[in-house]
A and B are shown apart, each in its own frame.
Chain A
Amino acid sequence: MVPISYYLMLSGILFACGVTGFLIKRNIITIFMSIELMLNGVNLSFVAFAAEWKALSGQVFVFFVMVVAAAEAAVGLAIIIAVYRTRETLNVDQVNLLKL
């Protein structure tokens, strides 16, 4: 059996990739995908712990996260389309109407 630390490390790497992409990428869709990456990194650690401690609550939690992520994807993509229509760009640095 693979020790839990392996899963957690993979989960940590996935989350760190997500954060890095979230912070450095300019394209909104890439940022969006980075968020998904973070969510899935977290999901991985949830199922790992669930398997380790033979508790189902972790797996239930993952379903909740997936549902929320799906809803978020729907709303987020709608916002992205709306932004593209008005601004004709997906570069977040140019979506800066609120800038001081």
Chain B
Amino acid sequence: MTPDLHLWMIPLLPLIGAAVNGLFGKRFSRQTVVAVALLFSGAAFAMALWIASQFSSLQTPHIETLATWLRAGDFQADFAFYLDQLSLVMLLVVTGVGFLIHIYSIGYMWEEGGFYRFFAYLNLFMFFMLTLVLASNYLLMFIGWEGVGLASYLLIGFWFTKDSAASAGKKAFIVNRIGDFGFLIALFLMIQHFGSLNFVQVAQKVTPISPEIGGAGLLTAIGLLLMVGAAGKSAQIPLYVWLPDAMEGPTPVSALIHAATMVTAGVYMVSRSHLIFERAPMALMVVAIIGTLTALFAATIGMCQTDIKKVLAYSTVSQLGYMFIACGVGAFSAGIFHLMTHAFFKGLLFLAAGSVIHAVGGEQDMRRMGGLRTKIPWTFWTMTAGTFAIAGFPPLAGFFSKDAILWQAYSSPYGSWVYWAIGVFTAFLTSFYMFRQWFLTFFGEYRGEEHTENGHEHGEHGHGGVHESPAIMLAPLVILALLSVCGGWIGSERFDKFLSPVFHSETTMSSTSESPEAPAEPKKENSSETLFTGISVGAALLGFLLAWQLYHRRPELPQKIAVSLGGFYQAVLHKYYVDEFYATVFVKPLIEGSTKLLWHGVDQNMIDATVNNSAEGAREVSDSVRHMQSGNIRSYAGWVAAGAAVVVFYMVWMGTR
């Protein structure tokens, strides 16, 4: 048998860290809190590395069953962990990036209140995320899924005294519930029709089903419902609205949860369910369309944002859209590849943005930055690496993964030139808004005031002037920058081959609609793929040049363009009024209905009224009757006599009838 890997320890280690810090952290010194948090998250990373080193000798998928959790009739769910190439990639990304962000957080959060609470939550998040990626059935995955949502809520609302942070946390939680609802229904359908939620058993049941071409059946329904769940967690249209608001959380949280790991859980889940999606072309198409629209939509919003973190937030939504394009055209490995590189460069960008915010004393508005290049060189250079990576310049990581997705979007049997065209246009937009941010932040003149004590998260940073972050924050930046540069050199083909046991099992080969893929590819391969690569690099370059022109050479131009575009610019600036739309269509009717109908109508007028009125009635009756109980003995005697008289008269009257 395969060796015992003790997979269960990987999620458990951060949980212990969370428990220790959460329960006793208040009494610990900051150094102890840090030691505990780093020890347990680092140990999880070390175990992941060890498992990766053992991986080639393993028989995959490697399943470890810990205990039976639920048994009801034929249905059974276990506490069991599942390791294959896909979960290994996720495992390494989550523990690796997570560990780096733990290190970064030490520097970033050092002067904040609730230091121990922050690290307890962070470790708790790691526990749930690792449960999510290592689960061997959908139910355990769902626990992780809900758990990361909880951790995300806690961390977005970390500065809970700030009203905006508290409501952003609630928004994230509630919007995610909508997605989870779809996910749950999908699970119920699986239980009903497959009798199991175990990945292996579901795969066995799904494999013999032929693809639902030209129609919608059970698999399409399950696929679409899973996509609803994924759209919630991975911030896709129409449920993306929580992610930009989630930027209220501390920046390391934005990097870890809302860029690198948690938001990619939807991509992971869709990839994990690839057997279902491959048999439901309609569901796949919906995934691709949602991905494409989200990528474009979020990128356009990103162009007009002025908050450095909001730009990155919309960029994340947009990049997640790319991952869903990949999944939607059946190129799951390309999606996971982009997931990995995105974790590197977006994690890096967020951490670098945090470093910038730290440097300028809590300012997040890019219009009040500028010229920081020489003042914070380490941050500048690492952020440059991230920016070029996300824009898709070769040979950085983002180039390889984005190129793989765009190529698949066109060439895969599910693909279409529309996806590709929008994808390339989005790549241009991505490049533009990222370089806009880069120029606004690091070039030109410094537009901020000389360090004011504003009420932001770093208001208490008393050491005046723009300053570089401490080494403990820069080290993770440098490591992530290296990964952003080199992470793509694995190459999408080698990555695809590595993941092929997961995605191209015998089932894929036997499926009829799938077969054109293999022979179709080499035909177009060399000439057109090079051309396509050239076009996407060209788009990135164009974005760079445009940003350079607008925000470096002639900084007065954007204002004029904005004025000339008028209404359209306003719409984009206000995020297409989606939040306002949701507020009018969903939130307001819900609040009104709850207030008027449920609160005033049902609760106050029916339930409370029933109780209150019966009490009131009893009191009124008693009020009149209690006068009999005067406490005067002779009046009691009178009542007795009167009562006796009534009885006597009654009997006499009855007797005479």
Contacts and interface: CB of A to CB of B under 8 A. Distances in A.
Interface in A8-42: 19, 22-24, 26, 31
A92 B638 contact: no
A99 B631 contact: yes
A75 B627 CA distance: 29
Contacts, number: 31
A96 interface: yes
Interface residues of B, number: 11
Contact of B631 (A22, A23, A26, A96): A96
B626 A100 contact: yes
B631 A98 contact: yes
A95 interface: yes
A23 B630 contact: no
Most chain B C-beta atoms within 10 Å of own C-beta, residue among A24, A31, A100:
A100
A99 B632 contact: yes
Contact of A23 (B626, B627, B629, B641): B641
B637 interface: yes
A22 to B, nearest CB: 5
Interface in B638-653: 638, 641
Contacts of B631: 96-100
Given A92-B634, A93-B634, A22 B641 contact: yes
Nearest to B638: A23
Nearest to B634: A92
Interface residues of A, number: 14
Contacts of A92: 632-634
A97 B641 CA distance: 22
Contact of B641 (A19, A26, A95, A96): A19
B632 A96 contact: yes
Nearest to B626: A100
Most chain A C-beta atoms within 10 Å of own C-beta, residue among B630, B631, B637:
B637
A99 B634 CA distance: 12
Contacts of B634: 23-24, 26, 92-93
A63 B626 CA distance: 39
Interface string B495-527: 000000000000000000000000000000000
Contacts of B641: 19, 22-23
A93 B632 contact: yes
Contacts of A100: 626-627, 629-631
A96 B635 CA distance: 11
A23 B637 CA distance: 6
A33 to B, nearest CB: 14
A8 to B, nearest CB: 14
Contacts of A97: 631
Interface in A72-95: 92-93, 95
Give the 10 A-B residue pairs with the shortest CB-CB distance, closest first.
A99-B631, A98-B631, A92-B633, A96-B631, A22-B637, A23-B637, A19-B641, A92-B634, A23-B638, A96-B632
29 contacts: A19-B641, A22-B637, A22-B641, A23-B637, A23-B638, A23-B641, A24-B634, A26-B634, A31-B637, A92-B632, A92-B633, A92-B634, A93-B632, A93-B633, A93-B634, A95-B633, A96-B631, A96-B633, A97-B631, A98-B629, A98-B631, A99-B630, A99-B631, A99-B632, A100-B626, A100-B627, A100-B629, A100-B630, A100-B631
